[in-house]
Structure 1
């Protein structure tokens, strides 16, 4: 992650994750020469003693080398332990419509009980634990927190900010979990820990770390062992659990990646890369995820069945759809984000301006995202898995646009909600803890003012967001339970003179 020379000019140092290394090339060289000399002496002794030909001492030479210690430098693992943020207490959300995403379950009027950071009860009637707070949400609709498995909430690289506006925006619009499938930097390792410790407010931050570009960039893979060595950086040092295989080489090399990943307990996803042939082979080879749209539309039944039966999670990222104008332009043409009070609260003004002020315009018949979404719907109905991936185009609200774009391809509102919740949780291996409202799962949910099953555009009408058992106002991110806590003042709220629009 960083490398340099010590002040004495004799020792090189570097870090990988939480591990710090020091290596003295001169010492390594001297030990290497000592080994070679000892080996030579031993070989000569054996030759004199046994009268064997010089070529016959090869095995003895190898044996002697194995017995001599190798210089490996120094390694120091740095461990910083802080408590994980877990709220204490119980709360009852009473009287809401509950779309649990446990199969087709729908409770038209029910209760949901949260104890600490886990769901304790979801039913038509739940008894309130002793001392529990009760919040009346009659007429509202509760759905699981949304899961963006192709997020790019990149903060400022190389500078650790005290609060990341992209994290706030995602959480305020109900995105309670993100998975960044190519961080480009290791800064996110620290940010993810800070969120878990409660030092930063934001969604759950899962990620792959920097992409694995392998065969055509920093690594020249010639064997499975080469790939194992690369992937150990992620399993042993970054602890990412997932990796992004970024079009790393030919099919044999891609197969090495999936083999090494399985051995090391890593879950790889792959860059689609506008390569339909590669898209098919990675499904045959067992990859769990594929990012970005398949570049051919419509998909016929053979391709649909392969995607469904392979078990891959296909994330088409419609906001940056291949083959036509990005669908984000469709929504920018129809929604004014510049003068939206919630946008102004969670996004700096210049970030809004650069996205909204000068957009291109396209005739509606030029957009291809409904056709891509129709193929995604076909895969879903064939038993496949579709992920919601907003690509960091517009953190927070952009995920709702992504869902509405899915609906443009014919998905029903419930199918769209499945993409935003259960399929996303499955796609990142977290479906035992996330993705549905069931007892024992983590308390991540959204309280909506209107029913998304009637109109999928109601996903944006957010009253409350709960993440890890803490309940926040959707418009402000002021915490309302278990603490009464205002969102601290953000630096962009008063960065310009009054009257500037």
Structure 2
């Protein structure tokens, strides 16, 4: 009575904060990674992290010393403008500068960079050329700028992050994208140009009732709220600041963008699902639901959340589908998502690299009996000022 499917490949999952650069190492038991696994995300691609902490966490996960999804990240982004509040501005005045960037990423063990807000198109082109020479993939930020998105496709980046800020795409864009080798991760949950899809889902679900959210999601990425919510607010706080909008507003917003994604998919373009880390773990399922609202079939939505991302990362021979010889990233669902896409949320067991976890307790089961260690806030001697759970009972 269960359904097996490949582990989800989140192609825009901010599990780490971008601003750990001066904070040292990440915690060895990181709640956001447990949240992602508990909801069946077995590979997480993070297109904006920090440098050494993130690469350290990736290696510790590979070595089995940290629990979490396969962690593929860009480290610090390659940012093209001064006065950013984190130290990511790297001037590219010549092609030699672009090559130095790639050499540094290689020395850290990186496989991909993110090109972000370069002032001139030629700077993005130099990054692409240097990346091809050095074997580093170049992802690109959409920046909510239509013409930057067009030139990013023309210049051959590996993937365009975020939708272009035109929800209804015309046939010229569809043909261009489909004819290119550039994948697209639209993040309808954090939509450019119209009200974000997460607003629709925050007002149409009670996410705090999910025990996995309660246990592993202390905070959401809340600064995208239309109201001035603290950046790291608990899910119920973010849920109290939703937007009420007429159905026609949602229809010209995320649903129009989702219909465009269906057209892109039907034309042969590679469309990926990415959660933006809005609600760790759960947001990946929200993104799948938002894609389905545009008419994409449930099977194609599942592909957007699995094999399409694997292809974008060049890992389709290792992850993204169930086949003999691939890595053992498998999730067990209590309900069938082919009948209702919302059934992807019914993850009850997650296997990553052959290690099987109960999705609710996150105890390792199967070949081993390894109970999850308590998080620091679950210890009895934690000061009351960081106990957020008592507030759950007041809804």
Conserved 8 A contact 1:151-1:390:
yes
2-structure distance, mates of 1:499, 1:259: 54
State the secondary structure of the residue aligned to 1:386: coil
Task: Pick from 41, 49, 52 the counterpart of residue 175 of structure 1.
Answer: 41
Task: Pick from 186, 193, 204 the counterpart of residue 316 of structure 1.
Answer: 186
2-structure distance, mates of 1:390, 1:241: 21
Task: Pick from 318, 340, 344 the counterpart of residue 455 of structure 1.
Answer: 340
Conserved 8 A contact 1:150-1:389:
yes
Deviation (angstroms), 1:215: 6.4
State the secondary structure of the residue aligned to 1:257: helix
Residue number in structure 2 paired with 1:234: 105
Q: Give me the CA root mean square deviation.
A: 1.8
The TM-score, its normalising length taken from structure 1, stands at 0.69
Task: Pick from 103, 118, 127 the counterpart of residue 248 of structure 1.
Answer: 118
Residue number in structure 1 paired with 2:223: none
State the secondary structure of the residue aligned to 1:142: strand
1-structure distance, mates of 2:80, 2:98: 8
Residue number in structure 1 paired with 2:308: 423
Residue number in structure 1 paired with 2:247: 364
Task: Pick from 60, 76, 90 the counterpart of residue 194 of structure 1.
Answer: 60
Conserved 8 A contact 2:203-2:239:
no
State the secondary structure of the residue aligned to 2:44: strand
Mapping 1:327-342, distance limit 5 Å: 327-342=197-212
2-structure distance, mates of 1:319, 1:446: 23
Residue number in structure 2 paired with 1:293: 163
Deviation (angstroms), 1:276: 1.3
1-structure distance, mates of 2:390, 2:53: 36
Q: Which has the higher contact order (CA 8 A, sep 6+)?
A: 2
Residue number in structure 2 paired with 1:351: 234
Residue number in structure 2 paired with 1:211: 77
Mapping 1:68-83, distance limit 5 Å: none
2-structure distance, mates of 1:409, 1:389: 16
Q: Which runs of 5+ in 2 are unaligned?
A: 84-88, 220-232
Mapping 1:480-491, distance limit 5 Å: 480-491=365-376
Deviation (angstroms), 1:216: 5.4
1-structure distance, mates of 2:197, 2:92: 37
2-structure distance, mates of 1:271, 1:490: 34
1-structure distance, mates of 2:38, 2:292: 22
Deviation (angstroms), 1:312: 0.8
State the secondary structure of the residue aligned to 2:97: helix
Residue number in structure 1 paired with 2:96: 225
Structure with the higher strand share, 1 or 2: 1
Task: Pick from 399, 423, 427 the counterpart of residue 284 of structure 2.
Answer: 399
Q: Which runs of 5+ in 1 are unaligned?
A: 1-138
2-structure distance, mates of 1:203, 1:355: 25
Residue number in structure 2 paired with 1:478: 363
Deviation (angstroms), 1:162: 2.9
Residue number in structure 2 paired with 1:145: 7
Conserved 8 A contact 2:348-2:360:
yes
Residues 419-441 of structure 1, C-alpha deviations (whole Å, 9 max, x = no match) = 00010111112111111111111
- Distance of aligned partners of 1:499 and 1:287 in 2 relative to their CA distance in 1, 3 Å threshold: closer
2-structure distance, mates of 1:335, 1:499: 21
